[in-house]
A and B are shown apart, each in its own frame.
Chain A
Amino acid sequence: MNLLAVWLGKLVLGCLRLIGRRGNALPGLVVEKVFPRYLPRAMARLTHGVVVVTGTNGKTTTTKMVATILAERYRVLTNDTGSNFVRGAITTAVEHSRWNGRLPYDVAVFELDEAWAVRFTEVVPPQRLLLLNVMRDQLDRFGEIDATARLLAKVAAVTTDAVVLNRDDPRVAAIAGETRAAVSYFGVAPELRAQFPNDEELYGGPLYVSYLPAAAELRALPSEASPETSLNVGDKDVQVLLRAEGAHNAQNAAGAAALALTFGFFPSEVASGLRRVSPAFGRGQSFDVEGRRLVLQLVKNPAGFRQTLRTLDNADPAAVVVAINDDYADGRDVSWLWDVDFVPTLRGRATRLSTSGTRAADMAVRLRYDDIDVAEVEPDLEKAVRQAVSTVDTGAQVVVFSTYTAMWALHAILLRIGRTTDDRVREEQEIP
């Protein structure tokens, strides 16, 4: 039956390619309808089982980190296209299966959003689970964050072997009591805690410091003096130059490291895996547009936006564009922009600042009320980028913060008017 399912899925994929589409959901949907048991059967054959990575922020990059570390030993199947649903997982499995129906991998690492993680794990109970954080995100779609935490607890309850929790997020740490799998933790050193506010702390709640032992702990962030991130992994200190920038990625690296330890990986393997992780789609990817370096950063929710803004701490871009769309996938409600404090990063900077996307004017209003000057409000994404590029010197950097649908549009625009300077995207570009 797996054979037929794989053939069916590959057929749909092939048809999509013929008409020039790169489908993620459709092949999975068709296979799911016709062979509902395909995915659990295929996954059950993986020697080292399934790893699920979930939480509000950092899933995509952390999934990439876990997959890259595990690749030090195993053949890893992963959904690194940002398609984080059950059907995306089926498509990934089908696409990577041989024509004889075999899946030539040892372990699968899947990124799933909180709601889909529940549905996925009802079908495929994972061996391992990495829970990153629970933050407010698109409340018009997901409802309250307490409800989100309950979803994550359900996923932990069906995980069989190991659950790795962020000890610094009280909603996540509390899930330890909800699983029969072995629990371990990752975290940041107490002296760094204030730099990683959880949802309560963002709104003035007291700083929460956990003393649970962490299997992997972030010890020091990169600085201008020392560009390496310091981690303690399984009681051993390791230094890693992370290509995925930003404090949140350093924190996520500790999560990925703790997960790898549950496989019995050595700290040296963890470190060498982390060094090879390149930025994920839209998370710090860079492009060359007319001799200017353009960096694309995805922003989806208040906590994520705050973290991503901090990538400007050690950077001095000549221009910044903030592109806010309000399509369904972005969240129709743009009120979350008011939960981001732009003052520390943007007020008083000489950087040329402009806003774009369907809600360009909303974003400009938000910045104005933080007393930050906006040079231009240009809803058209391409015009906004071209304008930003043309006002800065050759060799200068332009950073674009963008919501989900704006990022996809920008990605296409940037490949057309410029070229990627990231290896992985170049590969994607060749696929019609």
Chain B
Amino acid sequence: MITLVHLYPREMNIYGDTGNVIVLRRRCEWRGIDVRVVPINVGEPLPHDADIVLGGGGQDAAQGDIGADFVSRAATLRAMADDGVVFLTICGTYQMLGHEFLTQDGVHIAGTSVLDVTTQGTPTRLIGNNHIDTAEFGRLVGYENHSGMTTLGPGVRPLGTTVTGRGNNGKDRTEGAVRDNVFGTYLHGPVLAKSPRFADELLRRALVRQGADAGLAPLDDSLPEQAALVAVGRPR
């Protein structure tokens, strides 16, 4: 049984990020792996048996609505991360896993310090098709749309590097951040739709952590691979 925790589905659901939940759920179901999705809204407790935690991007106002609730869970989230729980966090949720978000007006908004990253709000928005190369999961394909610039600290490594996109901050070619089984990225799309290898890697890590047999039966991924190839060839 895989338990997928979906953080703040009402507020953090922009740019189709809910699709990541759909992708992981189906890839379990198609293989006969029991799976349940637990939506977590403001004030609701996180399940103790979470295997994978998913969170998406949100509008600025929505991020304000959930901010305090998210930060109040910081210790729990850090403990889960230390314990090997798999996290895939996109855009706004990725930012909130960092130490802080410094707004354009100089206001410091505390994060949860799950990831050693900090984000600075800017007036520029980085928007467009993006794909990144990763060492472990090949090419990840998605779409970026953010005005927060994220800088990585020594406690994380980049998820990948981008050639055509802008990535974490538009400067150092890095995109996303990783520590243990915690992944943060600006790739919408949703990222797992056209990056099936990455999707299976998340499932594999969750199963390994359970001590289960993590040999995942192969699926026919010719369609997502075709879609990825098309997306990579499209204008930004």
- Shortest C-beta distance, B131 to chain A (Å), equals 14
Return the CB mask of A338-373 against B: 1 if under 8 Å, else 0: 110000000000000000001101101110111100
Inside 8 A of B166's CB, which chain A residues have their CB? Answer: none
Q: Are B190 and A368 touching (Cβ within 8 A)?
A: no
List residues 14-36 of chain B with CB under 8 A from any CB of chain A.
Answer: 14-19, 22-23, 26
Return the CB mask of B126-146 against A: 1 if under 8 Å, else 0: 011100000000000011010
Q: Are A338 and B234 touching (Cβ within 8 A)?
A: no
Give the number of A-B contacts (CB < 8 Å): 93
Q: Are A140 and B145 touching (Cβ within 8 A)?
A: yes
- Shortest C-beta distance, A326 to chain B (Å), equals 6
Q: Are B18 and A377 touching (Cβ within 8 A)?
A: no
Inside 8 A of A364's CB, which chain B residues have their CB? Answer: 223, 227
Q: Are B194 and A362 touching (Cβ within 8 A)?
A: yes
Inside 8 A of A412's CB, which chain B residues have their CB? Answer: none
Q: Given A200-B10, A338-B22: A359 and B230 within 8 A (CB)? A: yes
Q: Are B39 and A204 touching (Cβ within 8 A)?
A: yes
Number of residues in B with C-beta < 8 Å to the partner? 37
Inside 8 A of A200's CB, which chain B residues have their CB? Answer: 10
Q: Are A144 and B59 touching (Cβ within 8 A)?
A: yes
Q: Are B14 and A338 touching (Cβ within 8 A)?
A: no
Q: Which residue of B lies closest to A335 (CB)?
A: B16
Q: Are A332 and B128 touching (Cβ within 8 A)?
A: yes
* Bound complex: CA A359 to CA B128 (Å): 15
Is A136 in contact with chain B by the CB < 8 A criterion? yes
Is B226 in contact with chain A by the CB < 8 A criterion? yes
Main secondary structure of the interface of B (DSSP, over half): mixed
* Bound complex: CA A359 to CA B232 (Å): 11
Q: Are A335 and B60 touching (Cβ within 8 A)?
A: no
Q: Given A140-B127, A365-B223: A358 and B16 within 8 A (CB)? A: no
Q: Are B15 and A139 touching (Cβ within 8 A)?
A: yes
Inside 8 A of B127's CB, which chain A residues have their CB? Answer: 140
List residues 37-76 of chain B with CB under 8 A from any CB of chain A.
Answer: 39, 59-61
* Bound complex: CA A281 to CA B12 (Å): 35
* Bound complex: CA A364 to CA B193 (Å): 11
Q: Are B194 and A365 touching (Cβ within 8 A)?
A: yes
Q: Are B10 and A339 touching (Cβ within 8 A)?
A: no
Q: Are A362 and B227 touching (Cβ within 8 A)?
A: yes
Q: Are A371 and B15 touching (Cβ within 8 A)?
A: no
Is A145 in contact with chain B by the CB < 8 A criterion? yes
Q: Are B59 and A146 touching (Cβ within 8 A)?
A: yes
Is B224 in contact with chain A by the CB < 8 A criterion? yes
Inside 8 A of B145's CB, which chain A residues have their CB? Answer: 139-140, 333
Inside 8 A of A332's CB, which chain B residues have their CB? Answer: 128-129, 143, 234-236
* Bound complex: CA A413 to CA B189 (Å): 30
Q: Which residue of A lies closest to B188 (CB)?
A: A335
* Bound complex: CA A371 to CA B23 (Å): 11
Q: Are A361 and B223 touching (Cβ within 8 A)?
A: yes
Q: Which of B13, B15, B190 contacts A203 (CB 8 A)?
A: B13
Is A265 in contact with chain B by the CB < 8 A criterion? no
Inside 8 A of B22's CB, which chain A residues have their CB? Answer: 338, 369-370
Inside 8 A of A361's CB, which chain B residues have their CB? Answer: 223, 226-227, 229-230
Q: Are B16 and A365 touching (Cβ within 8 A)?
A: no
* Bound complex: CA A205 to CA B129 (Å): 30
Q: Given A339-B18, A365-B193: A377 and B223 within 8 A (CB)? A: yes
Is B165 in contact with chain A by the CB < 8 A criterion? no
Inside 8 A of B14's CB, which chain A residues have their CB? Answer: 136, 139
Q: Are B227 and A338 touching (Cβ within 8 A)?
A: no
Inside 8 A of B207's CB, which chain A residues have their CB? Answer: none
Is A123 in contact with chain B by the CB < 8 A criterion? no
Inside 8 A of A144's CB, which chain B residues have their CB? Answer: 59-61
Q: Given A333-B145, A365-B193: A358 and B9 within 8 A (CB)? A: no
Q: Are B223 and A333 touching (Cβ within 8 A)?
A: no
Q: Given A140-B127, A146-B61, A205-B10: A369 and B19 within 8 A (CB)? A: yes
List residues 142-159 of chain A with CB under 8 A from any CB of chain B.
Answer: 144-146
Q: Which of A204, A326, A337, A371 contacts B16 (CB 8 A)?
A: A337
* Bound complex: CA A333 to CA B190 (Å): 10
- Shortest C-beta distance, B139 to chain A (Å), equals 15
Q: Which residue of A lies closest to B29 (CB)?
A: A371
Is B81 in contact with chain A by the CB < 8 A criterion? no
Inside 8 A of A379's CB, which chain B residues have their CB? Answer: 230
- Shortest C-beta distance, B147 to chain A (Å), equals 10
* Bound complex: CA A333 to CA B142 (Å): 9
Inside 8 A of B60's CB, which chain A residues have their CB? Answer: 144, 146
Is B231 in contact with chain A by the CB < 8 A criterion? yes
* Bound complex: CA A377 to CA B229 (Å): 14
Can you name 10 extra interface pairs (CB under 8 A) apart from A139-B15, A335-B188?
A: A136-B14, A203-B10, A204-B10, A326-B234, A333-B145, A335-B15, A335-B17, A361-B230, A369-B193, A370-B22
Spell out A's residues near B (CB within 8 Å): 136, 139-140, 144-146, 200, 203-205, 326, 332-339, 358-359, 361-362, 364-366, 368-371, 377, 379
30 contacts between A and B (CB under 8 A): A139-B145, A140-B143, A146-B60, A203-B9, A203-B13, A204-B10, A205-B10, A332-B234, A332-B235, A333-B15, A333-B129, A333-B188, A335-B142, A335-B188, A335-B190, A336-B16, A338-B22, A338-B190, A338-B193, A358-B234, A361-B223, A362-B193, A365-B193, A365-B194, A365-B223, A366-B193, A369-B19, A369-B22, A371-B26, A377-B223
Q: Which 5 A-B residue pairings sit nearest by Cβ, starting from the closest?
A: A338-B19, A338-B16, A335-B16, A361-B227, A361-B226
